[in-house]
Structure formats: structure tokens, C-alpha cells
Amino acid sequence: MFKQILPNRKSLLFILSSFMLISFFLTSLTNLYADQFFSKLDIDEISLKGHKLHIRGDTDLPPGSALQIKLMIPKLDDDKGKDHDVKVQITPGKFFVMIDLPKEWKNGGWIKFLSLKAIFDPDDQPKKVREIVGNKGEKLNGPKVKVQKNKKILVSVKNVAF
């Protein structure tokens, strides 16, 4: 009554080779970063457009990494917006963030100088990124790496005068 359907030899070979190819692809993707160290975190462009601050940069950190951008505007200690902390996701090789400044600062009338700091901290990363860079930043290397609380972080600082 029930007829057992067995795949023919070609179908079985196709299924087996497809499985092997997918396994190889996933393994090579995981090993893509196995021997890589990460050291590049550069703030390349800062521009003030109206009351928006645009920040662009380059990095070799894995896609999906999160950066913390700290913005400090001197001489505005008591005014709103002295310190801004913003999180930004990294796309392959790049990052971009737009920060809204108070509208009364339009066209940079109040801003003459600012300091930016981009920070990559392994504690703030998704699990897949921590697996690549190490839970304590073991795969971070270079002059922008700082040791803080028994872990490595990557820091880039840029001071800008308008």
C-alpha cells in the first residue's frame, strides 16, 4: 500500500555535495577573521550642517560592531548638550553618525571647537562580534588600543576647530 520513495543516485549526490558546500562556506566565514587583528578606527570627516553634526570614519572592525561616540564642547559646561554620547553601528569598513545639536547652535554660531572620541569596547558588542574580537579585546592591536579594567578597547580622538 505504501511505496517507499528513495532518492536516486544523482539526487543523493547533489544533496550530499550541497551540504558539504554549505558547511565549507559557513566554516570559512567563521574563520575569515580567525587570524586578523583589528587596529583601524579613524574619524575622517566632521562637518556642521545647520544644527546637525556629521561624522564619518573608516575602520577594520567587523560589521555589526557598535561604537560609542563622545562629543564634548568646551566652555558650555552649564549649557545643554555639553556632552553627547551616541551609539553607531559599523557597516563594512565605514561608520557614519549624525548628531542633532540644539537648534540655537544653528550654523555653528556657538561652536568654535569640539572634541570627539570614538570608542570600541568589547563589553558593548553583540555576541557575534565578541567572538571575533575576543571577550576582552584580545584581537585588538595597535597604537589606538588602550587597556582599561583588564580588557583592550580601541579609541580614536579628534579635535576640530570651526
Per-residue pLDDT of the chain (162 residues; tens, 9 = 90+): 555 555 566 766 777 777 676 766 555 544 555 678 999 999 999 988 877 889 999 999 999 899 998 888 766 545 554 556 787 878 889 999 988 876 666 555 566 778 899 999 999 999 999 999 999 999 999 999 999 999 999 999 999 887
CA distance 51 to 55: 13
Tell me if the domain spanning 41-161 has CATH number 3.30.505.10.
Answer: no
CA 54 from chain centre, in angstroms, equals 16
Give the integer Cα–Cα distance in Å for 154 and 141. Answer: 8
- C-alpha distances out from residue 122 to 22, 90, 141, Å: 30, 14, 13
User: Domain limits of the chain?
Assistant: 41-161
Which pLDDT does position 2 carry in this prediction?
52
Full-model pTM = 0.72
Contacts of 80 (CB under 8 A, 6+ apart): 102
The burial of 42, by beta-carbon neighbours within 10 Å (0-12 exposed, 13-18 middle, 19 or more buried), is given as: middle
| Integer Cα distance of 73 and 153 in angstroms | 23
SS3 86: strand
**Cβ–Cβ < 8 Å for 67, 95:** yes
Look at residue 23 in the predicted model and tell me its pLDDT.
Answer: 62
